[in-house]
Chain A
Amino acid sequence: MNQVGLRMYPSKPSKVYFYATCLLDVLDPNGGLAAIELLEREGIEVIWVEKQSCCGQPAYTSGYQDQAKTVALSQMALFPNNYPVVVMSGSCAGMMFKHYADLFAASEHAEKAQAFSQRVFEFSEFLARVCRANLTDTGEASSVVLHTSCSGRREMGIHTSSEALLAQLDNVELKQAAYDTECCGFGGSFALRHAEISQAMVEDKASHLKLSGADYLVSADWGCLANINGHLAYRGEASMFKGQHLASFLLKRTKPASEAKA
């Protein structure tokens, strides 16, 4: 066990469950495959449970607790063994880590939810804090800017683990965007219900990220990426500067030089 921030981390396990999340499933399967490759490189067996769907967050944040509970219970049941569950998005991980326990507080499922939440790790958190991965950069000199989702940052503290991983890449300069802790304006149904406010937020976010001057944009959350990339594409800027999942970026940067093409 080692403690970072508020959380105690176990030592590296031999097996993990993989939780892809519903957005990555349809928007960026390659990000998921990259993450699996990185985990396997750490000598970990990655278990894919096909029946998984969505963590329940969309219903939860919209005020539909009952529906969120139904889905949360079904998801927890899919991961019965005491292996860590590695989640590919900060906000879904936050949902499973923090809000499953809230959802089932003082119910018959309280204990189960509590125990499950302790097994939940966001991908970059797991790679940095549990695997304590050592990455070797094989790429050309370039620069990157990181966007961390609000729930990932505030509920899981993953900006530090994402930064720690990027900092291991010798040839990559990590650029800082102005207002980097500010929300990108996604917030699930917020982006639709309050479209104009959401627009004002994503416009600013995309501009600040671009103004950082970085060559690449990475994030460990497809909620924010769908929002930011969607807006960059709308502006006609996505071909130059398009966000990718942190896992894809890390994998490309650490391929043996002969395979690298990032």
Chain B
Amino acid sequence: MSVQHYQASQFKRQASESLADQQLRQNFRGAMDYLQKKRKDAFSDEDELAQLRLHAENIRQRCLSKLPQLLEQLEQNCQANGIQVHWAEDTRQAQQLIADLIQQAGGKKVVKGKSMVTEEIELNHHLESLGIECVESDMGEYIVQLAEETPSHIIMPAIHKNKQQVADLFLEHIKDFNYTLSVDKLIQTGREALRNKFKQADVGISGVNFAVAETGTLCLVENEGNGRMTTTVPPLHIAVTGIEKVVEHLSDVPPLFSILTRSATGQHITTYFNMISGPRRSPERDGPQQVHLVLLDNGRSQAYADDVLRKTLQCIRCGACMNHCPVYTRVGGHAYGTTYPGPIGKIISPHLQGLEQTSDLVTASSLCGACEEVCPVNIPIPSLLQRLRHDAKMPAESGISSLKGQASAASFSEHNAWRFWAWLSTHPKIYHLATRMVLTLARYIPLPMGAWTRCRSKPELASQSFHQQMKQRANKGASL
């Protein structure tokens, strides 16, 4: 099965196509309005929210500051619990590792719980190429899989589709489907189709929301119960996660969990919260016989190595930043061409894919700060974007290691234009001669001014600048 492919390097074209799709824009605007309201209602007290965010930020920063040590501790405690731990440096290693685990167990049918990391490593695609069936069990993921698409949102993968589109899809793919537009009935239909898959599966693959170092416990947050089924019904369970998801203590989980669900969907708690602490033990009669944890780096250690960019890894993947982003709301998730879209996607994708591929993403923001304002762990997304804009154009400063794709978007003429601008701005006499600086700037920077006038009239310049008028005022004052 081929999945519709978008690329980060094609962001502008993809965004342009999304903008022209009125249905898509309506679907996103409606969904984002709904999610914004849900979040707002869940945090009625501003001061309390500020405290919760600070607390969550502190937990994440503490855990990251001890990351190497916590990962070791996690490995030891997982192993003591009977969870086998594996490390993958990149996508390819992770794919291979997981495929090997499945093949060694003679697995043929996989059910997957929702996991963005497995999207990141394009696991379905890889397993299918090896003849292993891989079915998404989260309703949203299932819908995008039927449509041969990728998720357009990290929490709600099929948010770009409305109920008509889902009903049409079911009609095409699910036998004996009685066409309906009732959301309840649609969900019921999907659940029945999936129920059979659970019974047949010999492998369950899931993500992880928090991996607790001190106890070797994997926590999984979900609403549909498919996560519970995926991790308990098949004999083999493989959990896949990024190395940054580790927390130190069990007591770190409740505050993060609570702010995660409220920020994401406005829920005070999700319907299911799974704590996985090992395979079936005798005399237990259910649960998987084997549990494996795959820890993936895939560029995260690059962000980790830099004091400022490390903040990117504080993320708990709540999706609030995209729900509140005016750009995401208008172009939707697919246009980004990355696994993680929206503001978090713009700051993490450069580490996963390199700046060469993602330099258009880091500029695709008005730096309005709506994301930072809602991020439950206070990631300063706009300043990180500015830092990445710098890194896309300039070599690393001494003492700081280069990022993948550092300076790949360097432009000699643009750099010169800014040098000229800085010179002009610090030479007031000449600056005054060129008072109409904005236009001067536009002339020297290789940016098409036509981009401005495509939907705006040319700016009306004052006949005399403020500087000139103040000069006259001063002269008048002197002569009085």
Name A residues whose Cβ lies closer than 8 Å to a Cβ of B.
20, 22-30, 32-33, 48, 50-54, 56, 58-68, 70-71, 74, 102, 150-151, 154-155, 181-183, 185-203, 226-227, 230-231, 233-234, 238
- The reply to whether B389 and A70 contact each other, CB–CB distance below 8 Å, is no
A20 contacts across to B, CB distance below 8 A? 466-467
In whole angstroms, how far apart are the Cα atoms of A226 and B439 in the complex? Answer: 13
Output the least CB separation between B368 and chain A (Å). Answer: 4
Could you show 17 A-B contacts with beta carbons less than 8 Å apart? A53-B431, A59-B422, A71-B426, A102-B383, A186-B366, A191-B366, A192-B448, A192-B452, A193-B447, A195-B452, A195-B455, A196-B16, A200-B19, A201-B330, A202-B456, A227-B456, A238-B457
In the complex, residue of chain A having the shortest beta-carbon distance to the beta carbon of B331: A197
In whole angstroms, how far apart are the Cα atoms of A125 and B272 in the complex? Answer: 47
In whole angstroms, how far apart are the Cα atoms of A193 and B467 in the complex? Answer: 30
- The reply to whether A67 and B421 contact each other, CB–CB distance below 8 Å, is yes
Given contacts A151-B367, A192-B447, A238-B457, 14 further A-B contacts (CB under 8 A): A26-B459, A48-B474, A50-B432, A58-B441, A59-B422, A62-B418, A67-B421, A74-B425, A154-B372, A182-B370, A189-B447, A192-B451, A194-B364, A231-B455
Output the least CB separation between B119 and chain A (Å). Answer: 24
B130 at the interface (CB under 8 A from A): no
B interface majority secondary structure? helix
- The reply to whether B386 and A196 contact each other, CB–CB distance below 8 Å, is no
- The reply to whether B367 and A61 contact each other, CB–CB distance below 8 Å, is yes
- The reply to whether A182 and B462 contact each other, CB–CB distance below 8 Å, is no
B215 at the interface (CB under 8 A from A): no
A33 contacts across to B, CB distance below 8 A? 466, 469, 473
In the complex, residue of chain A having the shortest beta-carbon distance to the beta carbon of B12: A194
B255 at the interface (CB under 8 A from A): no
A68 contacts across to B, CB distance below 8 A? 422
- The reply to whether B467 and A230 contact each other, CB–CB distance below 8 Å, is no
CB-contact partner of A32 in B383, B438, B445, B466, under 8 A: B466
In the complex, residue of chain B having the shortest beta-carbon distance to the beta carbon of A54: B425
B5 at the interface (CB under 8 A from A): no
In the complex, residue of chain A having the shortest beta-carbon distance to the beta carbon of B428: A51
Output the least CB separation between A97 and chain B (Å). Answer: 14
In whole angstroms, how far apart are the Cα atoms of A183 and B325 in the complex? Answer: 9
B396 at the interface (CB under 8 A from A): no
A185 contacts across to B, CB distance below 8 A? 326, 366
* Of listed A25, A29, A32, A183, residue having the most chain B CB within 10 A: A25
B468 contacts across to A, CB distance below 8 A? 29
CB-contact partner of A67 in B418, B436, B462, B474, under 8 A: B418
In the complex, residue of chain A having the shortest beta-carbon distance to the beta carbon of B20: A196
- The reply to whether B437 and A230 contact each other, CB–CB distance below 8 Å, is no
- The reply to whether B438 and A62 contact each other, CB–CB distance below 8 Å, is no
- The reply to whether A50 and B456 contact each other, CB–CB distance below 8 Å, is no
- The reply to whether A195 and B367 contact each other, CB–CB distance below 8 Å, is no
Place the interface of chain B in its size category.
35 or more
Name B residues whose Cβ lies closer than 8 Å to a Cβ of A.
12, 15-16, 19, 25, 326-327, 330-331, 363-370, 372-373, 383, 386, 388-394, 415, 418-419, 421-422, 424-426, 428, 431-432, 435-439, 441, 445, 447-449, 451-462, 464-471, 473-474
In the complex, residue of chain A having the shortest beta-carbon distance to the beta carbon of B437: A22
In the complex, residue of chain B having the shortest beta-carbon distance to the beta carbon of A187: B366
CB-contact partner of A27 in B327, B460, B467, under 8 A: B460
- The reply to whether B418 and A59 contact each other, CB–CB distance below 8 Å, is yes
In whole angstroms, how far apart are the Cα atoms of A183 and B329 in the complex? Answer: 12
B12 contacts across to A, CB distance below 8 A? 194, 196
In whole angstroms, how far apart are the Cα atoms of A1 and B51 in the complex? Answer: 26
- The reply to whether B456 and A230 contact each other, CB–CB distance below 8 Å, is yes
A23 contacts across to B, CB distance below 8 A? 438
B368 contacts across to A, CB distance below 8 A? 150-151, 154, 182-183, 187
- The reply to whether A182 and B326 contact each other, CB–CB distance below 8 Å, is yes
B386 contacts across to A, CB distance below 8 A? 60-61, 63
- The reply to whether A201 and B438 contact each other, CB–CB distance below 8 Å, is no
Output the least CB separation between A183 and chain B (Å). Answer: 4
* Of listed B16, B364, B390, B418, residue having the most chain A CB within 10 A: B418
In the complex, residue of chain B having the shortest beta-carbon distance to the beta carbon of A98: B383
A202 contacts across to B, CB distance below 8 A? 455-456
- The reply to whether B15 and A194 contact each other, CB–CB distance below 8 Å, is yes
B464 contacts across to A, CB distance below 8 A? 29
A181 contacts across to B, CB distance below 8 A? 370
CB-contact partner of A64 in B370, B415, B436, B453, under 8 A: B415
* Of listed B367, B453, B466, residue having the most chain A CB within 10 A: B466
Output the least CB separation between B383 and chain A (Å). Answer: 7
